[in-house]
Amino acid sequence: MKALVQVALGATALTALVATFAVAQERMVDINKISDAGVGEKIGTIRVTEAKNGTTFKIDVTGVAAGKHGFHLHEKGDCAAATKDGKMEAGGAAGGHYDPASTKSHKGPKGASGTGHKGDLPVLTANAKGIKQSVTAGKLKLADVEGRALVIHEGGDNYTDQPANGGGGTRIACGVIPKS
């Protein structure tokens, strides 16, 4: 009987450990509208999960125009407006795209020959109701993204350096990925 109780307690402890590990591998991010005036209302969430093939972002956002939208991981965890070239920029406090290798190359999430930076994420597509889409970035681990900003841009992304940053244009939505 004593051995049976020990086995049951061991199994319960193992289940709790596995559940804790599973929860630890996921982050929920509130996404807010942003403008040159600052951070606005919440318009959705992004669930960030690490898997064997990279990090997955499950986007559920409303209030964005239908069409293609650039999606990037930015170097800083701040969605506030900031001054750039003498003008206030929406989400400017998030800094540039996450580029730990200093490639300064905007080649997309797969990157031609691996030369692109890690901040490029797959393009999002909105319909009249918003964005409900999951995308995976194979180059990223959860530890890479924690404490950084996720930014949705006004326009699509051509994954080149011309126009600047692939032509995504103005930053329209942002959220900071919580640290564990």
Dig out the tokens for 151 from the structure. 């930014």
Give me the architecture of the 27-176 domain, per CATH: Sandwich (2.60)
How much is the pTM?
A: 0.82
Q: Where do we find the tokens 């206030």? A: 88
The closest of 166, 152, 165 to 67, measured between CA atoms, is: 152
Cα 128 from Cα 126, distance rounded (Å): 7
pLDDT at 22: 47
SS3 of 180, please?
coil
Dig out the tokens for 147 from the structure. 């404490």
pLDDT at 27: 97
pLDDT at 5: 42
Cα 75 from Cα 99, distance rounded (Å): 7
Dig out the tokens for 179 from the structure. 């640290």
pLDDT at 76: 97
pLDDT at 101: 82
Find the helix or strand (DSSP H, E) in which 22 lies: helix 2-24
Cα 145 from Cα 141, distance rounded (Å): 7
pLDDT at 2: 56
pLDDT at 166: 53
pLDDT at 19: 45
The closest of 70, 57, 60, 72 to 27, measured between CA atoms, is: 57
Residues of the chain with pLDDT under 50: 4-5, 7-24, 112
- CB atoms under 10 Å from CB of 10, counted, come to 10
- What residues does each domain of the chain span? 27-176
